[in-house]
Amino acid sequence: MELICPAGTPAALRVAVDAGADAVYCGYADETNARNFPGLNFSRAEMREGVAYAHRRGAKVLVAVNTFPRAGAVGPWRRAVDDAVQAGADALILADIGLLDYAARTHPGQRLHVSVQAAAANPDSVRFYVEAFGVKRVVLPRVLTVAEIAAVARAVAPCETEVFVFGGLCVMAEGRCSLSSYATGQSPNMNGVCSPASHVAYRERADGLVSRLGGFTINTFGRGEAAGYPTLCKGRFRTGPATGYLFEDPVSLDAAALLPALREAGVAALKIEGRQRGRAYVEGVVRAFREALSALEEGRPFVSPGLLSLTEGQSTTQGAYRKAWR
Amino acid sequence: MSAAVGLTLGPVLFHWDAEAWRDFHFRIADEAPVDTVAVGEVVCSKRLPFLADHLPAVVGRLEAAGKRVLLSSLALVTQERERRWTAELASGSGPTMVEANDVSALAPLAGRPHAIGPFVNVYNEATAAWLAARGARRLCLPPELPAASIAAIAAAAPPGLAVEVFAFGRVPLAISARCYHARAHGLAKDNCRFVCARDPDGMTVDTLDGERFLAVNGLQTLSHGCANLIEDAPRLARMGVAALRLSPQRCDMVAVARTFRAVLDGRMEPAEGRAALARLYPAAPFVNGFLHGRPGAEYVAATAP
């Protein structure tokens, strides 16, 4: 299985390659990619240099152009596709049907992957992208169990499947969520951001700390309670029957223990989330998963990396892969 | 100018009692000034059997009343039975158009007239044109699109593609494989006891500071605020939008449709229409922020045309 690692900066790309990534994924510094955060991502020159660095060391570079092009202004997205091809990207990660069509027609030899933002959650959707645009791989949304992943992988072969194994966890079907823009006006699909820091505020009150997003209280923390970032779907809310983490506890995904099952399922590539994270995160997580994968491939005793200290939340989950809630 | 704009009644997103669902559509057929009605379960496949019994009668009654009927497909398809259901619906050879709410329905529909629902991501004219070339005749845009995007897509829409905008009802914001109704009630999804039926207008979600925020409908999360584009309707008409979609809430939807029709026909001032809708649906404040490029939870008052 290939290990696909995040690179929010050229430095992170080099760290990931040196730590054992088979491929890194990254994007241009604008709203064409789904991690459009201040200070992140690549200029055109940096992308060319990054590709050269990775290729010299036998690693691949996958360029994400995975937001949805703005109506009446699709130019920047098409330029990102053209420039990534020009830079020597090994694959483009795309979500928008119109942009997939453009890339397939304009660059017929270019390898295309379907982004998780396209929410291809079943074999029929995957086959649609294969037949319409000749895609070679699909990144599966984090809503499937391992058994469902295995069924999809079998059904869509030779199209490859890639799954997230570590990092931030969307609990909603990716690419189909407007919660962030309902509160802030900024969305993953249109702006490449979710619950953006520009709309976050923390306020001290007599009873503790309040975290807000776009003016809505997302969580409150008592004295001494660790305060988390107010990602909307990880907040505490009140409903008739219950008050608490309505959608998901503030957990991160860690599917390291499932690597043998994912290999058995026929998964081609494992993806680590976190283009917004620093070099220490990238190096630590990539090295740990490289070691776990090597052990798995060589039949050595498999030890789960145990990366709790590198997660964003207070604890980890295997997410939908093991659906305790079904 | 605006007489050309049609009205579509969207599919009931909530888990209504099956007889109430049937009777609701019978009344729509008899009384509501809507041209098009989308029917079918969009949110949760576990609810499908309840509607299936009544679906033929509802479709028949609506079509007999001269309505164009769209058969809506599921928005999230992960399980085998959901795949089968979607494939059967999309492969059917009947005269009634299918409205695809997931990409998995697109392949079997290719080459035949069909509709694209608001749960398929169409953010630009290139995607709209691609879908139209494959047989899409109607396209309800995702609710988060701003006016500039709607205008660009409508202006570039190929002949024969009717562009529709989500104009009334709680705004669908997210879909998940996980059931938040079951979770809130401490139940597993497979043993959910259909607790979502207790909230036929959505389960209110408040912030910890007591502010109304969202509404949960099983796997779906909607806004607490009710979309209302009635004051924006004249502008949408000028953009070339072909229809406005009214999404059923627990209120007099016949009267809601009549109010929109009156404003579109110039028989009622938009502000008056808004006041009438506030009386018809007092359960939630109105929102239209997405259309104005603002946070979706806001309401931006119309400026003089």
Q: Which residue of A has its CA nearest to B90?
A: A124
The answer to whether B103 contacts chain A (CB < 8 Å) is yes
Q: Which residue of A has its CA nearest to B187?
A: A325
Q: Which residue of B has its CA nearest to A218?
A: B207
Q: What are the C-alpha distances in Å from A115 to residues A58, A129, B97?
A: 23, 11, 29
Q: Which amino acid is at A206?
A: A
Q: In which element (H, E) is residue B128 found?
A: helix B125-133
Q: Identify whether B201 is part of a domain.
A: no
pLDDT value at residue A142:
84
Q: Is the pTM of this model over 0.90?
A: yes
pLDDT value at residue A313:
56
d(CA B105, CA B116): 10
Dihedral sign for Cα B40, B175, A262, A6, please: positive
Q: Identify whether B197 is part of a domain.
A: no
A143/B204 CB distance under 8 A:
no
pLDDT value at residue A169:
83
Contact residues, chain B, for A129 at CB < 8 Å: 103
Q: Please, where in chain A does CATH 3.20.20.70 lie?
A: 2-169+251-321
Q: Taking 80 as the threshold, does the pLDDT of residue B205 lie above it?
A: yes
Q: Which residue of B has its CA nearest to A172?
A: B176
Give the CATH number of domain A2-169+251-321; options: 3.60.21.10, 3.20.20.70, 2.40.160.10, 3.40.50.450: 3.20.20.70
pLDDT value at residue A308:
59
A223 pLDDT band (50/70/90 cuts)? confident
Burial of B35 from C-beta contacts in 10 A (0-12 / 13-18 / 19+): middle
Question: Which residues have C-beta within 8 Å of that of residue B172, sequence separation ≥ 6?
Answer: B13, B75, B118, B119, B143, B220, B221, B222, B247
Q: Identify whether B188 is part of a domain.
A: no
The residue with greater pLDDT, A318 or A64, is: A64
Cis before A158? omega within 30: yes
Mean of pLDDT values over B220-237: 97
| Nearest one of A123, A173, A127, A176 to A152, comparing CA atoms | A123
List pLDDT tens digits, range B88-99: 999 988 889 999
Q: Identify whether B272 is part of a domain.
A: yes
**CATH code where residue B53 lies:** 3.20.20.70
| Nearest one of B131, B225, B216, B208 to B170, comparing CA atoms | B225
φ/ψ of residue B236, rounded to 5: -65, -40
List pLDDT tens digits, range B100-119: 999 999 999 999 999 999 99
Residues 236-265 of B with CB under 8 A from A: none
The answer to whether B190 contacts chain A (CB < 8 Å) is yes
pLDDT value at residue A306:
66
Report the alpha-carbon angle B110-B59-B109, nearest 5.
5
A320/B76 CB distance under 8 A:
no
Q: For chain A, where are the alpha helices, taking DSSP H only?
A: 10-18, 44-56, 75-87, 97-106, 123-133, 146-156, 179-184, 188-191, 259-264, 279-298
Q: Identify whether B146 is part of a domain.
A: yes
Q: Taking 80 as the threshold, does the pLDDT of residue A262 lie above it?
A: yes
**Number of domains into which chain B is organized:** 1
List pLDDT tens digits, range B242-294: 999 999 999 999 999 999 999 999 999 999 999 999 999 999 999 999 999 99
A310 pLDDT band (50/70/90 cuts)? low
A207 pLDDT band (50/70/90 cuts)? confident
Contact B141, B165 (CB under 8 A): yes
Supply the Cα-derived Rg of chain A in whole angstroms. 19
pLDDT value at residue A39:
87
Contact A49, A299 (CB under 8 A): no
Q: Taking 80 as the threshold, does the pLDDT of residue B302 lie above it?
A: no
Mean of pLDDT values over A248-267: 90
Q: Which residues of B271-301 are buried (b: 16+ CB within 10 A; e: fewer)?
A: eebbebbeebbebbebbbbbbbebbbbbbee
φ/ψ of residue B131, rounded to 5: -65, -40
A72/B125 CB distance under 8 A:
yes
Question: Which residues have C-beta within 8 Å of that of residue B96, sequence separation ≥ 6?
Answer: B59, B63, B69, B70, B71
Cross-chain CB nearest to A325 (options B75, B127, B183): B183
Q: How many CB pairs under 8 A join A and B?
A: 226
A87 pLDDT band (50/70/90 cuts)? very high
Contact B189, A326 (CB under 8 A): yes
Question: Which residues have C-beta within 8 Å of that of residue B93, sequence separation ≥ 6?
Answer: none
Q: Identify whether B104 is part of a domain.
A: yes
Q: Identify whether B69 is part of a domain.
A: yes
Q: Taking 90 as the threshold, does the pLDDT of residue A150 lie above it?
A: yes
Question: Within 10 A of A33 (CB to CB), how many other CB atoms are there?
Answer: 27
Cross-chain CB nearest to A124 (options B104, B171, B178): B104
Q: Taking 90 as the threshold, does the pLDDT of residue B87 lie above it?
A: yes
ipTM: 0.96
Residue where the block lists tokens 């309840």: B50
The answer to whether B208 contacts chain A (CB < 8 Å) is yes
Q: Taking 50 as the threshold, does the pLDDT of residue B3 lie above it?
A: no
Range of the domain at B87: 6-171+225-287
Q: What is the mean pLDDT of chain B?
A: 96
B107/A243 CB distance under 8 A:
no
